Amino acid sequence: MSARANDPVSKDGSGFGDDQFQRLMKASKPSGTQVPSLAALYEDMAPNRPPAFGDGALPKDTFDPAAIAAAGNLTMPSMAEPQFPSIPSNAPLSFVRVTSAFGLRAHPLLGGTRAHAGIDLAAPMATPIRATADGVVTHAGSKGGYGLLVAIKHGAGLQTRYGHMSRIAVAPGERVTKNSIIGYVGSTGRSTGPHLHYEVLRNGRAVNPLPYMQ
């Protein structure tokens, strides 16, 4: 008997036919649930993975650090309050010539004896004015008789004010460091000539700035 006689034959006797091949392949075909996909394995192993941007996460423009800190019971530093108090020191100008002291004085424009909440320092127009301590700018703009005024909060209830500027070099909310330029000497507001009106406040009350300039 030849080897051909032992071979499987199709219905038409021509050998291993299409119908036998199809039955064999159908019997060996794996079901769709026998082997899980890689995606399914990944989901089972990491069900709590954080979604990526574009996959259900918040878009970048809605990212809110304060909300995340609150959810995680964290503390976010406030931009309006210095983290560490900084005590005013040095003079706000490169040279000091006091033309009006702190306390009661004869007002040069309004007349009569009035309280002077700071000191006046004479200087040429456009002389740079420097912060006397690290802090955060709380006001930078016009304020009545002060003219162009910059106010800085230093923490621990301390604040400084710089009045009658010709030009301001900072903005509200800006952090400044000691000796950084915050503006320039002028004669805006209620003033008789170029000078800087400088104040130091402690817990909202004006105190003599001179001891803070040593």
Q: Say yes or no to pLDDT of 57 above 70.
A: no
Separation CA 164–CA 120 (nearest Å): 10
Q: Dig out the tokens for 183 from the structure.
A: 């503006």
Q: What amino acid is encoded at 85 in this protein?
A: P
* Domains present along the chain, CATH in parentheses: 1-40 (no CATH), 41-71 (no CATH), 98-213 (2.70.70.10)
Where residue 28 falls among pLDDT bands split at 50, 70, 90? low
With vertex at residue 213, the alpha carbon angle to CA 209 and CA 214, rounded to the nearest 5 degrees, is 130
Does residue 89 contact residue 132 with C-beta atoms inside 8 Å?
Answer: yes
Separation CA 3–CA 174 (nearest Å): 96
Q: What is the pTM of this model?
A: 0.61
46 or 185, which is more confident: 185
Q: Dig out the tokens for 115 from the structure.
A: 């309280």
Q: How many CB atoms lie within 10 A of CB 152?
A: 27
Q: Which of 120, 125, 122 is nearest to 95 (CA)?
A: 122
Separation CA 135–CA 81 (nearest Å): 8
Model pLDDT for residues 144-161, shown as the tens digit of each residue:
999 999 999 999 999 999
Model pLDDT for residues 79-131, shown as the tens digit of each residue:
445 456 899 999 999 989 999 999 886 766 666 678 989 999 999 999 999 99
Separation CA 182–CA 179 (nearest Å): 9
